[in-house]
Amino acid sequence: MSFETERNYALIVNPSAGGGRALKVLAEAERELDARRMVFRVERTRSPEHGIDIALGALDAREIPVVMSGDGLLGAVGGAMAGSNSPLGLIPAGRGNDLARALGIPTDPAEAVRCLDEGNVRSIDVGEANGRRFLGIASFGFDSDANRIANEAKLFKGTMVYAYAALRALAGWKPARFSLVEHGVQKRFSGYTVAIANNAYYGGGMKVAPDADLSDGKLDVVVISEIGKLRFLMNLPKVFKGTHVDDDVVETWKTSSIEVKASRPFTIYADGDPLTELPARLRVLPSALEMIVPGDGS
């Protein structure tokens, strides 16, 4: 559906997003916003919590919040806005920009502004783990180690950081035991990763859950069982096309809620940031968030 033509925007900018790329994106976006005579103000964030406060204040002022950052701030703000029936805009400025990829929002700042000006509103699902909300993919196990390494990395930019992190994590990885419970039925296995996906992508374009749909009212569960490290490494490139799910050590299914735990402590990461610790209960909040996405002509 389309939305009202009279609207003011509150740009919520994370200055450190994308290794500082956000400030360059901001300058380009401002030029396009001015050229289109769009009414906006800019707020720089100090933390995800500060970004949430700005967004909620914008809603009170009848402004449309627009996140200019990566998936981390977007997940925090989007989770806080879930259920508000107010649209959220996005100008991608992070390293991965995986939700933008799934929604078809351009990474070019001028085109992203065009999407804000001419786009439509789409209802998407929101995930929740131990009461903490996320928009993309909540995962743990091998992914916990890889995400931590990626967030600590200083020498790599863009999607290269994710490849580096995966190789570093693989070197020291030891399989863990996982337990998944749905409707009282328990599934136990040894392996690498459990991913609970609202979105198809993570890690800058890895299509880990190729059948995930942001608007189907379900979360996609992807589990990777025990496998030799060399075979795991050889299969990594398949994740970018989503063909890894054809491997016999990968299992996928859809759920509305699931309980998870493991044989050793793991942090659940989502949208690139730490979300909560195991054990955890995850569920989907169907059609909980309105996002501005490209229209038919955008």
Q: How far is the C-alpha of 25 from the C-alpha of 34, rounded, in Å? A: 14
Structure token pair of residue 83:
């259920």
Domains and CATH numbers, the chain: 8-125+288-293 (3.40.50.10330), 132-285 (2.60.200.40)
Q: How far is the C-alpha of 72 from the C-alpha of 96, rounded, in Å? A: 10
pLDDT at 266: 97
Q: Write down the residue that tokens 């075979």 correspond to.
A: 231
DSSP state for residue 57 in the 8-state scheme: H
Q: How far is the C-alpha of 232 from the C-alpha of 15, rounded, in Å? A: 36
- Is 273 tagged catalytic? yes
Q: What does each of the 298 residues of the chain score in pLDDT, given as a tens digit? A: 344 556 899 999 998 876 778 888 999 999 999 999 999 999 999 999 999 999 999 999 999 999 999 899 999 999 999 999 999 999 999 888 999 999 999 999 999 999 999 999 999 999 999 999 999 999 999 999 998 988 787 665 556 777 788 889 999 999 899 999 999 999 999 999 999 999 999 988 899 999 999 999 999 999 999 999 999 988 888 998 999 999 999 999 999 999 999 999 999 999 889 999 999 999 999 999 999 999 864 4
The H or E element containing residue 183 is none
Count CB-CB contacts under 10 A for residue 47: 11
Three-class SS of residue 102? helix
Q: How far is the C-alpha of 173 from the C-alpha of 51, rounded, in Å? A: 35
CB 178 within 8 A of CB 191: yes
CB 229 within 8 A of CB 192: no
pLDDT at 164: 83
Q: What is the CA radius of gyration of the chain?
A: 19
Q: Which position among 108, 213, 216, 273 bears the catalytic label? A: 273
